[in-house]
């Protein structure tokens, strides 16, 4: 009951930040100011509708459901790891800030994604694929090598090899815009 005797539901909002509680407050203020849950349901639906429109297929409803479910899954990661003010925690546990308008990404499951997901990003989301390469290079700058299996901004060493190399090579060969070839 939380101190009240009404039949009204308890309304709760939660915000997260990889940096600190102030980051969570800023994220909530910027990304979740409304208390109208249906607003967020519609916003999420519309955002995913825009993302999934990058490929249009013909087929049965079942085939489309299977395809677009797979596309949805592949577009879920890597994820944004910076707050709305651009702050993030790097591999040395230092707080850094991306330039205005840029997002830092993490969760590079490269063992799983270098063969198909990253080449797909290169084809359907070249601007985002270039951001992923930029963030892999930032990982290298603070950690001393490219990500192997980066999760929430930290390396977890759970796979052999370094599959960031073919991802970066593919992006350079595809001439994705915004990649600093000398740094990569």
Under 8 Å between Cβ of 150 and 106: yes
pLDDT band at 2 (very low <50, low <70, confident <90, very high): low
Q: Which helix (H) or strand (E) holds 89?
A: strand 87-89
CA atoms of 154 and 47, how far apart (whole Å) = 28
CA-CA distances (angstroms) from residue 117 to 45, 78, 107, 113? 22, 10, 13, 5
Structure letter (DSSP) for residue 181: T
Under 8 Å between Cβ of 141 and 134: no
Under 8 Å between Cβ of 81 and 152: yes
**pLDDT tens across 72-84, in order?**
999 999 999 999 9
What's the pTM?
Answer: 0.88
CA atoms of 4 and 69, how far apart (whole Å) = 43
CA atoms of 178 and 148, how far apart (whole Å) = 22
Q: What is the pLDDT of residue 182?
A: 86
Q: What is the pLDDT of residue 62?
A: 97
Average pLDDT over residues 31-54: 94
């Amino acid at each position: 009951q939380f101190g009240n005797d009404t039949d009204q539901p308890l309304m709760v909002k939660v915000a997260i930040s990889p940096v600190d509680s102030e980051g969570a407050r800023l994220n909530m203020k910027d990304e979740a100011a409304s208390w109208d849950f249906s607003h967020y349901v519609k916003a999420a639906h519309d955002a995913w509708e825009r993302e999934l429109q990058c490929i249009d297929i013909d087929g049965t409803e079942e085939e489309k459901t299977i395809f677009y479910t797979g596309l949805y899954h592949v577009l879920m990661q890597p994820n944004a790891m910076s707050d709305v003010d651009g702050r993030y925690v790097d591999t040395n546990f230092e707080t850094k800030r991306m330039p205005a308008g840029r997002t830092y990404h993490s969760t590079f499951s490269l063992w799983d994604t270098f063969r198909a997901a990253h080449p797909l990003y290169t084809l359907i989301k070249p601007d985002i694929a270039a951001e992923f390469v930029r963030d892999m290079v930032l990982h290298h700058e603070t950690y001393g090598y490219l990500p192997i299996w980066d999760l929430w901004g930290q390396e977890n060493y759970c796979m052999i090899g370094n599959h960031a190399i073919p991802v970066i090579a593919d992006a350079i060969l595809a001439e994705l815009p915004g990649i600093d070839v000398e740094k990569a």
